Amino acid sequence: MTEQAVPNDHDREREWIARAQAGDKAAYGLLVQRYQRLIVSVAYRQGLDLASAEDVAQETFVKAWLALPRFRESAGSWRAWLCRIAINAAIDTLRHDRPSEELDERVPDDGGGPADQAEAGARARAVRGALAQLPLASRAVLLLREYEGLSYAEIASALDIPLGTVMSRLNYARSRLRVLLTEMGEAG
């Protein structure tokens, strides 16, 4: 009797991609549902409000669907490819619309009282303010690492920069951010 290998998460995802490339919308739906949050978040982090970020995410998945037959995993991961489309789409949107400050009060609900919520809101605003002061190139690397959890190789692929540049920009962004947050009294 031959032992049948259980497909792991990565294999399953590759299978969905292959099926979606062949035109299977149901398989594409599985991919969309898996990456929806990531793509909305990537768009949001470019400076869009949440509604615009969701629109950009929709646009990203439509573009990815149309270009999917040309996607090759050898040129970079699926996740990095999607992020790159989302970043491009968000930048195109930002060229037409002003960045929103609507989300300033939107902070995770940790179950605390109003005082805790207010404090969390102040901390979130301070972090956002400090992030906004970073150079665009370094900020993009930091956001993809800290908020989206992309690996260095995926960030390099998503932003089309060398791996060494990812590391140096990340180091610079962190050092600068620490200084800024210390000045604001938010570090540690």
Partner 1 sequence: MSEHPHAIPNEWLAAYHDGELDETRREKVESHLLTCVSCRQELAALKSLSNALAVDRLPDDVLVSRAEFWRKLESQLPDRAAVEQSPLRWLPGIGLLLINGLVQLGAAVSVVVMLVAGSLPWAARPLTWLSRAAASSVMGWLAWLLPDQWSGLGLAAFFVIISAWLAVLYLAWLGYVWRYRWHPAVRVVA
Nearest 5°: the CA angle 146, 71, 83 is 20
| 3-state SS assignment for residue 145 | helix
Q: Rg of the Cα trace of the chain?
A: 19
- Separation of first and last alpha carbons in the chain: 57
Minimal CA–CA distance to 104: which of 122, 116, 117, 119? 122
**Local structure of 128: helix, strand or coil:** helix
Q: Is 18 in the site for partner 1 (CB under 8 A)?
A: no
How many residues of this chain bind partner 1 (CB under 8 A)?
66
Assess 128 for contact with partner 1 (CB under 8 A). yes
**Given 7, 15, 62, 105, the residue binding partner 1 (CB under 8 A):** 62
Q: Is 5 in the site for partner 1 (CB under 8 A)?
A: no
Find the shortest distance in angstroms from Cβ 1 to partner 1.
35
Residue 74 within binding range of partner 1, rule CB under 8 A? no
Q: How far is the CB of 183 from partner 1 (least distance, A)?
A: 13
Smaller CB separation from partner 1, 3 or 160: 160
Distances (CA, A) of 25 to 11, 55, 84, 170: 18, 20, 22, 37
Asked whether the CA dihedral 155, 23, 14, 26 is positive or negative, the reply is: positive
- Residue 41 interacts with partner 1 (CB under 8 A)? yes
Please give the residue ranges that form the binding site for partner 1 (CB under 8 A): 23, 25, 28-29, 32-33, 36-37, 40-41, 44, 50, 54, 57-58, 61-70, 81, 84-85, 87-89, 91-92, 106-109, 120, 123-124, 127-128, 131, 136-137, 140, 145-147, 151-152, 159-161, 164, 167-168, 170-171, 174, 177-178, 181, 186-188
